[in-house]
Structure 1
Amino acid sequence: MKVGVAGLGAMGRGMARNLAAAGLLVGVWNRTRANGEPLADELQVPLAEDATALARQCDVVITCVSADQDVLEVVGALADGVSEGDIVIDTSTIGVDTAEAAAELLRVQGAAFLDAPVTGGSEGAEAGTLQVMVGGDPDVLERVRPALAAIGSDATHFGPVGYGQRAKAVNQVMVAGIVQAISESLSFAEASGLDTERLLPVLTGGAAGSRLLERRGSRILAGDFEPGFRVALHHKDLNLCRDLLRKLDVNLPLVEMTLKHYDRLLEQGYGDEDTSALFRLKREMFQSGNRKSL
Structure 2
Amino acid sequence: MNQQIKAGVIGLGAMGAPMALNLARKKLLQSVWNRSPGPARSVAAETGVSVASSPAHLARQCPVVLTCVSADSDLLEVIEQLLPGLQAGSVVLDTSTVSPATAQRANDSIQRAGGSFVDAPVSGGVEGAIHGRLSVMAGGDPADIERIRPVLEAISASVTHMGPVGSGQATKAVNQVIVGGIAEAVCEALALGEKLNLPSERLLQVLGAGAAGSWFLEHRGQSMLEDRFEKGFKLSLLLKDLRIIKSLARELDISMRVVEQAIDDYQELVDAGYGDNDISGLISLKRKPATEAG
**Does 2:16 match 1:12?**
yes
Number of the residue aligned with 1:104: 108
Is the CA contact (8 Å cut-off) linking 2:33 and 2:51 kept in structure 1? yes
Number of the residue aligned with 1:68: 72
**What is the CA distance between 1:292 and its match in structure 2?**
6.5
Is the CA contact (8 Å cut-off) linking 1:227 and 1:272 kept in structure 2? no
The equivalences for 1:139-178 within 5 A come to 139-178=143-182
**What is the CA distance between 1:164 and its match in structure 2?**
0.6
The equivalences for 1:76-225 within 5 A come to 76-225=80-229
**What is the CA distance between 1:207 and its match in structure 2?**
1.1
**What is the CA distance between 1:293 and its match in structure 2?**
5.6
**What is the CA distance between 1:33 and its match in structure 2?**
1.1
One-letter identity of the residue aligned with 1:168: K
Number of the residue aligned with 1:229: 233
Number of the residue aligned with 2:6: 2
Number of the residue aligned with 1:256: 260
Q: What is the TM-score when the length of structure 2 is the normalising length?
A: 0.96
Percent of pairs with identical residues:
49
**What is the CA distance between 1:204 and its match in structure 2?**
1.0
**Does 2:291 match 1:281?**
no
One-letter identity of the residue aligned with 2:197: G
**Does 2:58 match 1:54?**
yes
3-state SS of paired residue (1:94):
coil
Query: Residues 168-208 of structure 1, C-alpha deviation per residue, up to 9 Å, x if partnerless?
Result: 00000000111011100000001001111121111111111
Query: Residues 72-107 of structure 1, C-alpha deviation per residue, up to 9 Å, x if partnerless?
Result: 111112221111110000001111111111111111
**What is the CA distance between 1:227 and its match in structure 2?**
3.0
3-state SS of paired residue (2:161):
strand
3-state SS of paired residue (2:49):
coil
Q: What is the TM-score when the length of structure 1 is the normalising length?
A: 0.96
The CA distance in 2 between the partners of 1:254 and 1:240, in whole Å, is 14
Q: Which runs of 5+ in 1 are unaligned?
A: none
4+ runs deviating over 3 angstroms: 290-294
Number of the residue aligned with 1:267: 271
Query: Residues 48-87 of structure 1, C-alpha deviation per residue, up to 9 Å, x if partnerless?
Result: 0000000011110100001111101111122211111100
The CA distance in 2 between the partners of 1:238 and 1:41, in whole Å, is 36
3-state SS of paired residue (2:253):
coil
One-letter identity of the residue aligned with 2:61: Q
**What is the CA distance between 1:134 and its match in structure 2?**
0.8
Q: What is the aligned-residue RMSD (CA, Å)?
A: 1.0
Query: Residues 213-270 of structure 1, C-alpha deviation per residue, up to 9 Å, x if partnerless?
Result: 1111110100001131111000000000011111111121001000000111011111
The CA distance in 1 between the partners of 2:227 and 2:210, in whole Å, is 24
3-state SS of paired residue (1:31):
coil
